[in-house]
Amino acid sequence: MADTFLNDLKQSLDNCISELDSIHHLFCKDPGSDFTRNRKITFREACHFMIELQSKSLPNEVMDYFGHTLAAPSASAYIQQRQKILTEGWDFLFHSFVHEGFTLQNHTYHGYRLLACDGSDVNISRDPSDEETFIHEGEKGYNMIHINALYDLLNHTYCDFIIQGKKKLHERQALNTMVDRYNSSTPTIFIADRGYESFNVFAHLMAKGQKFIIRIKDISSNGILSNHDLPDSEFDTYIETTLTRRHTTETKNNPDIYTSLTLSTDFDFLDEKDRYFKIHFRIVRFQTADGSYTCVATNLSTDEFCLEEIKKLYKLRWGEETSFRELKYTVGLVNFHCRKKDFIIQEVYARMILYNFCELATKHAVVITRENAKHAYKINFATAVNICRTYLKSGGDENEMMLLIQRHLTPIRTDRKYPLNLRPKRNRDFMYRAA
């Protein structure tokens, strides 16, 4: 029986673009005139073109897509068309395709969808007038955006993200916003690292009825656990406290019952009417391979998820770290074709859509096990992205394309450890692009 998954996936993306095209007047700067005349680059073509962009210069991208003929539109014509589309249109398209993708492929863990939250910095063109992104460092300074994203760890796709200027960064606020607007009917576990430790984050997740596993500072630090008497060993216990902004004799004399928050501490569930907020969650502390300890806060019950299960789930969070590398350098997020921040945001949406498409296709491909092989093998994602781009542009036999994806493999080398070599990466200048 023929495998139609790749064709169904492409059809789902086409349907999402068609749905957006049918109401594109809602997402244009001038609904009365934008995309009303017969142009070489229609609304649909503008969307498809941006999703299929590579890392070349814009004139070369235009010729590759529309053909190397004198009838092809100019790069300027494309820029004029893209600037008519509001960012909200791309947001609509992204979330529509996320829904369609999860319908086609919805792997879960004991019935739970696993979403990791993390962020990644991306350099953009220098613009000292942009106070949100410009960093005054060195002789000239630089501009940087921060992408806060929710990543589906089992389906290998991004389901939501928020872009912030690096200068105005607030990761916990971004997570709260994404949690508040999350509306999936599938039970979900949110997994995050130490930077998201906050009573406000926990309260937003609980108010939404969601489960979470969030790393917090250890018992010897000044974090949430600093006011609790806990053993310096592995443990699995529960903490209950009442949050308040009141600094009275009662709250000061009963630190085991009350946690007093300062006015500068973010917490969205306290006001003049509701002065107390009781919160109850589980704390798990376990030892890692190097002898240090990791603490996580969770509202998963001990009956459903034991300590070993919590450790396993938290370790899965690393999948989002590797996804950022693929998104930025394999899909080409760092190779923008514009300088304006609004255009840059459009390209981030387009890259996210392409990444999701390629990951869904790759995840569906079956890796043929080789007998007596030294290593296990996985799909070569860089090659798969190139194949998916070609399929989106030109179509072709889906079975042949899927077999082509399955042919290009790369070995899985486990237990490899390298020191982190963090260094700043500047944006890729327009003068240095592939021909």
Token couple for 191: 């997994």
Half-sphere exposure for 243 (CA within 13 Å, toward CB) = 22
Query: Of 145, 78, 82, 135, nearest to 348 (Cα)?
Result: 145
Amino acid identity, position 395: G
Distances (CA, A) of 397 to 8, 48, 58, 254, 383: 12, 20, 29, 70, 17
Q: What is the pTM of this model?
A: 0.92
Question: 242 — phi, psi (to 5°)?
Answer: -110, 120
- Alpha-carbon gap, residue 406 to 366, rounded angstroms: 6
Q: In the chain, what is the greatest distance between 2 CA atoms, to the nearest angstrom?
A: 81
- Per-residue tokens: 223: 């974090």
Length of the chain: 435
- Cα distance between residue 116 and residue 133, in whole Å: 25
pLDDT value at residue 1: 42
Cα-Cα-Cα-Cα dihedral of 415, 416, 422, 428, to 10°? -110
Query: Which pLDDT value is given to residue 290?
Result: 84
Over the stretch 296-355, which tens digit does the pLDDT of each residue have?
A: 999 999 999 999 999 999 999 989 999 999 999 999 999 999 999 999 999 999 999 999
Cα(339)–Cα(125) distance, rounded to whole angstroms? 6
Amino acid (1-letter code) at residue 331: V
Place of tokens 């007093």: 260
Tens place of pLDDT for every residue, the chain, 435 residues? 457 899 999 999 999 999 999 999 999 999 999 999 988 999 999 999 999 999 999 999 999 999 999 999 999 999 999 999 999 999 999 999 999 999 888 999 999 999 999 999 999 999 999 999 999 988 889 999 999 999 999 999 999 999 999 998 999 999 999 999 999 999 999 999 989 999 999 999 999 999 999 999 999 888 888 888 889 899 999 999 999 999 899 988 888 899 999 888 999 999 888 999 999 999 999 988 888 899 999 999 999 999 999 999 999 998 999 999 999 999 999 999 999 999 999 999 999 999 999 999 998 887 766 667 777 888 899 999 999 999 999 888 888 998 899 888 888 776 666 565 656 566 666 666 666
What does the alpha-carbon distance between residue 46 and residue 373 come to, in Å, rounded to a whole number? Answer: 46
